[in-house]
Chain A
Amino acid sequence: MCFTQNFWNLVVSGLADGFLYALIAIGYTLVYGVLQLINFAHSEVFMSGGFASYFILNAAIGTSQPHGIASVGFLALGTIGGGLGGAVVAFLLERVAYRPLRRRNAPRLAFLISAIGASYFIYNLAGKEFGRNALEIPSPFTNGPVFTIFGATVQTVYIVVAVAAVIMLVLVDRVVATTRLGKGIRAVAQDAETASLMGVNIDRVISQTFIIGGVLGGAAGFLFGLPFGVVYTMGFTPALKAFTAAVLGGVGNIRGAMIGGLILGIAENLGVACTQASWRDVVAFGILVLVLLIRPTGILGEQLGRAA
């Protein structure tokens, strides 16, 4: 097979991609859970997180070359900054593009159209305000090979992505499973009206759901921007793939989104080995269509979604 030669290298880079997809996919899945809608503007939440972390790290790091504990500090700063940026945009997005329609009980088509409008508005506004060229995030650490596993070289940046993502994924899983807010989110997802009878403020829970998704998506924007830089159009492709990951795992299912993200990341990297780099997105899209054809409810099934 075409990928046997580099198999473990591909798996390692695939996992790194997969963690990012998982982080973004959770935003889709959570919002899908409470609204039964695909948030088409989630790509812009991701992009905004990338820009927020760029501006923060640019100011904090400047031209210095941090290492050791300083690196960790700057990484945390970038992640938090990206998360905040994503959260702010996600919150505003819900307020402006979704809530007025929800108040009116508008048809679902209207939500999708409004979200697409928001997506185009946000990323083109970013292009206007921050320029249309890619910007390089000043690196908080010096990248290089750290260790090898099965002959695959693991770079620092992979470790950074994996550690940050695992922390956030575990956190969000616990928040949704155990906290009061998590219970509110699950209740709204399973039966919003009854949840309101239990005293759940649906508007607030939906807002908070967008914020949680925004934090993860925005942080992913930072982690993605570390190696690739940030640019106003950066959201489209990763978000489309993250959506694929969400479907793969079962839309509405948080752990499904994580597993789906990792599988997609690896599958995409192996697939690319068999074609060319320029066909990368085609491979991911092919996986999406295949999943929809074969198992539209995803690997783990749709759990948070509406009552079966």
Chain B
Amino acid sequence: MLLELVDLEVRYGAIPALSAMSLEIAEGEIVTLLGANGAGKTTTLRSISGLHHPARGRILFEGRDIATMAPHHVMALGISHSPEGRRIFPRMSVTENLEMGAYRRRGAIREDLDRVFQLFPVLGERKRQPGGTLSGGEQQMLAIGRALMSEPRLLLLDEPSMGLAPLIVREIFSIIREIRATGTTILLVEQNATQALRLADRGYVLENGRIVMSDTAGSLLADPRVRAAYLGESAAPA
């Protein structure tokens, strides 16, 4: 397994946000995490990245426990996180934002920049523009591109389709597919369950900080409970 969460418990003060959470991702997979608002999806990603430290349980990356590591150490191991809400550096140019993604790397990043610009041609047209002035879709592309700059083994994507027009969402999802084709493992958090399950190999469903279901993406897509709870909602235009 590339990543394993074992019996994880995360709290905000006295309030538990995740309990008895277990999850695993194999090399090369796309795994998606579904759930309503506040179910604990973002908390899961933030715990993996070291932004929250769990009260209990282990986070194993290639068998090594990273639960108590600081975010910059976690990222150095090859885990890259494209956070919820995109979080572009607003007063840095597109290029600088991408360079930030490669902050830990010394040496040439020219090729990686070119690769990102190839993946997202629109970013190449806006190289010198401040990140804060991009449109929502462009910012999302920049956030994903930035996360790719560190050449991650595992990419954490938090709601890449949030607040975007359907056309852009489709574009983003097709790019995620391309990224996967290069061998990057992806953990995808989405509200847009249909799209996510079509893309993913497997999925987990979170409710109130607990995993309530886990199966292959195809079975989840067919599961009546999942359809009722998540696909019904996401059928409405995003």
The chain A residues found within 8 Å of chain B, CB to CB, are 180, 183-184, 186-187, 190-191, 193-202, 303-304, 307-308
Please determine whether B90 and A308 come into contact, CB atoms closer than 8 angstroms: yes
| A contact residues around B49 at 8 Å (CB) | 197
CB distance from B12 to the nearest CB of A (A): 12
Can you report 29 A-B residue pairs in the complex whose CB atoms are below 8 A from each other?
Answer: A180-B103, A183-B92, A183-B100, A186-B89, A186-B92, A187-B89, A187-B92, A187-B100, A190-B89, A190-B90, A190-B92, A191-B87, A191-B89, A194-B83, A194-B87, A195-B89, A195-B100, A197-B83, A198-B75, A198-B100, A199-B71, A199-B72, A199-B75, A199-B103, A200-B103, A303-B91, A307-B90, A307-B91, A307-B132
Please determine whether A183 and B70 come into contact, CB atoms closer than 8 angstroms: no
| A contact residues around B58 at 8 Å (CB) | none
Please determine whether A199 and B89 come into contact, CB atoms closer than 8 angstroms: no
- Complex: A186 Cα to B92 Cα, angstroms: 8
CB distance from B121 to the nearest CB of A (A): 23
Main SS of the interface on chain A? helix
Is B40 at the interface (CB under 8 A from chain A)?
Answer: no
Is B104 at the interface (CB under 8 A from chain A)?
Answer: yes
Chain B, 80-106, CB within 8 A of any chain A CB: 80-81, 83, 87, 89-92, 96, 99-101, 103-104
| 5 closest cross-chain pairs (CB), A and B | A199-B104, A196-B71, A194-B87, A199-B75, A190-B89
Closest to A203 in B: B70
CB distance from B26 to the nearest CB of A (A): 24
**Which of B71, B99, B101, B132 has its CB near the most chain A CB atoms (within 10 A)?**
B71
Closest to A180 in B: B103
- Complex: A180 Cα to B106 Cα, angstroms: 10
Question: Given A193-B51, A201-B70, list of 8 further CB < 8 A pairs?
Answer: A183-B96, A183-B100, A186-B92, A187-B92, A190-B89, A197-B83, A198-B103, A304-B91
Is B146 at the interface (CB under 8 A from chain A)?
Answer: yes
Q: How many chain B residues have a CB neighbour from A under 8 Å?
A: 25
The chain B residues found within 8 Å of chain A, CB to CB, are 49-51, 70-72, 75-76, 80-81, 83, 87, 89-92, 96, 99-101, 103-104, 132, 146, 150
Please determine whether A184 and B103 come into contact, CB atoms closer than 8 angstroms: yes
**Which of A193, A197, A201 has its CB near the most chain B CB atoms (within 10 A)?**
A197
- Complex: A307 Cα to B89 Cα, angstroms: 8
- Complex: A183 Cα to B146 Cα, angstroms: 14
Closest to B51 in A: A193
Assuming the contacts A190-B89, A191-B87, asked whether A199 and B150 have C-beta atoms less than 8 A apart, the reply is yes
**Which of B70, B89, B104, B150 has its CB near the most chain A CB atoms (within 10 A)?**
B89
| B contact residues around A308 at 8 Å (CB) | 90, 132
Please determine whether A200 and B89 come into contact, CB atoms closer than 8 angstroms: no
- Complex: A274 Cα to B206 Cα, angstroms: 72
| A contact residues around B92 at 8 Å (CB) | 183, 186-187, 190
- Complex: A180 Cα to B99 Cα, angstroms: 9
Please determine whether A199 and B76 come into contact, CB atoms closer than 8 angstroms: yes
Closest to B49 in A: A197
